[in-house]
Chains A and B, each alone.
Chain A
Amino acid sequence: MNDPIVGVTNLHKTYLSEKGDNVALTGVSFDVERGEVVAIVGPSGAGKTTVLRIVAGLLDPTTGHAEVNGSPVMGAPPKEVGFVFQDYSRSLLPWLSVMSNVTLPLRSKGLSKSEAVTKAREALEAVGLSGRERAHPRELSGGMQQRVAIARAVAYEPELLLMDEPFASVDAQTRMDLEDLVLPLRDRFGVSILFVTHDVDEAVYLSDRIVVLSPPPSVVRRIVDVPLPKPRDQHYTKADPRFADLRGEVLDLVRATDVAHQS
């Protein structure tokens, strides 16, 4: 509780536009402890991605602040952060091979070519893509492309992995595979994870805690603890009665807030 990897304090964000200002966040606060997996959920338009982008340093809050490792995030992404973008088809560079896509950030980080290649191989192996290093993204399926994006983030050895709806654009089966890929990565690379999802099942399945946002202008509706045993398992965890209870609780929180605002 006293040394969180992420500290978010009273974030306000207003998007200014000619059609009128759009208040996205009005006072969002929460922490992510080291080694924790935290999900941000909420109804659509609830500023989930806004929070994530502020933590990543890709967006400045109107007021309030985010800290990573105790240092305020100011105008630029903190060096501890790896990011998995929602749309793999846009975040992979089609003109680079899988290997070059993964090593690109590593080389920028100052690693020698051979060090970068070693780390990239390790990460690609961890996501089950050994042997596809020389392929180009277009030769891979959507699920495999998103694995490359995850490998790229993991090979960077971030202390904090941020993921923006990382599995939203793949099919259900691939989504489960990728979910089961991410949790062991946490143990293997010792990374803390903060991610956005619109899928309540996914949030409960992957997380230690879930931050539920209200509809915009968003506040934290509630932070739900997920005391399900680890390691998680697609079959047993989801068959656990507590899983169903938590799922129902979070779903109600997400949907009840919808109703409250519509009336």
Chain B
Amino acid sequence: MSTPDAVSVRIVDSRAVRWLGPLVLPALALASYQQLATSGATPYFPSLSDIAAAALQLWFGEGFVRDVLPSLTNLAIGYAAGVILGVSLGLLLGRLPAIGTAVQPVIAFGLTMPAVALLPVFLIVFGIGAHMQQAVITMSVFFVQVVNTADGVRRTDPVLLDLARVYRLPRWRRILQLVLPAASNQVFAGARVGLSAALMVMVVGEMVGASNGIGAVTLLAQQDFAYARMWAGIVLLAVLGVVLNAGFVAVERRLAAHLGLNPADTEGVS
């Protein structure tokens, strides 16, 4: 039936399929796009090489400092602030159910309300600039981080809390060494959802209320009928999303391994 050669061929085959399989559809999509673009039917879809050239010109060198760096800085500051504030309040609410119940309606409201709906208010309060961008990103991360953290903290195994009481662990040990690690799955879940929200809000914030930044450049390009630049912005944002997500997963895995938790357990919780 199957000689050793046939087996090895099949292994190679399956490996090739595993690596190349996922690339087939994107390649097809790009090829069709390029076909559409070079047919010259519409100016809205410039060719891939035009987009690449625009991206090079926009996002490297001077453009990097003027537009990419501020975007990333605002994203980092806003996101970090949202996670830290959210985890802190989440811990408090999870540990003090009475306050949790009282604050619940406000949190639920903040969670359902799209952060970008408050952009006009943030514009009035902070004016156009980095502070406004950071504040609205923080806001988009904050609520989801609070809810997930509080949920995780509330679900701390009662045996662990008994343990903390019997052995009289001081509050800070109780929180840092017991409650927070025990809730880490939900904390990560919140941070992951928050990251997607933060990226989206970063783009919208820049489109609405900024003169520089990736979002601003992308929207201005569209308004200037500079479609190659517009597409260059969209491509960069897509790449950013993928890279940030991959980075997040890597960090999460390392931390989960460090905490002795099964990284697989932290997947898909949201």
Contacts and interface: CB of A to CB of B under 8 A. Distances in A.
Contacts of A107: 173
A87 B177 CA distance: 19
Contact of B181 (A76, A82, A93): A93
A105 B166 CA distance: 9
B118 to A, nearest CB: 37
Nearest to A85: B159
A113 interface: no
A71 interface: no
Contact of A90 (B159, B178, B181, B260): B159
Given A94-B260, A95-B259, A137-B260, A108 B169 contact: yes
Interface in A67-88: 76-77, 79, 81-83, 85, 87
A95 B159 contact: no
Interface string B137-161: 0000000000000000000010110
Nearest to A89: B159
Contacts of A136: 260
Contact of B165 (A76, A96, A156): A76
A104 interface: yes
B148 to A, nearest CB: 19
Interface residues of A, number: 26
Contacts of B165: 57-58, 76-77
Contact of B162 (A85, A94, A108): A85
Given A58-B162, A105-B167, A95 B181 contact: yes
A87 B163 CA distance: 12
Interface in A27-82: 56-58, 76-77, 79, 81-82
B85 interface: no
B261 interface: yes
Contacts, number: 61
Interface string B246-266: 000000000000111100000
A91 B168 contact: no
A109 interface: yes
B105 interface: no
B177 A94 contact: no
A104 B178 CA distance: 10
A104 B173 CA distance: 9
B170 interface: yes
Interface in B18-39: none
B184 to A, nearest CB: 8
Contact of A105 (B160, B169, B259): B169
Interface string A133-150: 000111000000000000
Contacts of A109: 167-168
Given A96-B177, A108-B173, A137-B260, A91 B160 contact: yes
A76 B165 CA distance: 7
Contact of A104 (B177, B181, B258, B259): B177
B260 A95 contact: yes
A83 B166 contact: yes
Interface string A109-125: 10000000000000000
Interface string B171-188: 001000110010000000
A90 B160 contact: yes
A57 B163 CA distance: 12
Given A91-B160, A104-B167, A105-B169, 16 more contacts: A58-B166, A77-B166, A77-B168, A79-B168, A83-B162, A83-B163, A83-B166, A90-B157, A94-B259, A95-B181, A95-B258, A96-B177, A104-B177, A105-B168, A108-B170, A109-B168
What are the 8 A-B residue pairs with the smallest beta carbon separation, nearest first? A105-B167, A95-B259, A90-B159, A83-B166, A94-B260, A95-B181, A95-B260, A77-B166
26 contacts: A56-B166, A58-B166, A76-B165, A77-B165, A77-B166, A77-B168, A79-B168, A81-B166, A82-B166, A83-B163, A83-B166, A87-B159, A90-B159, A93-B177, A94-B261, A95-B260, A104-B167, A104-B169, A105-B168, A105-B169, A107-B173, A108-B170, A108-B173, A109-B168, A137-B260, A138-B260
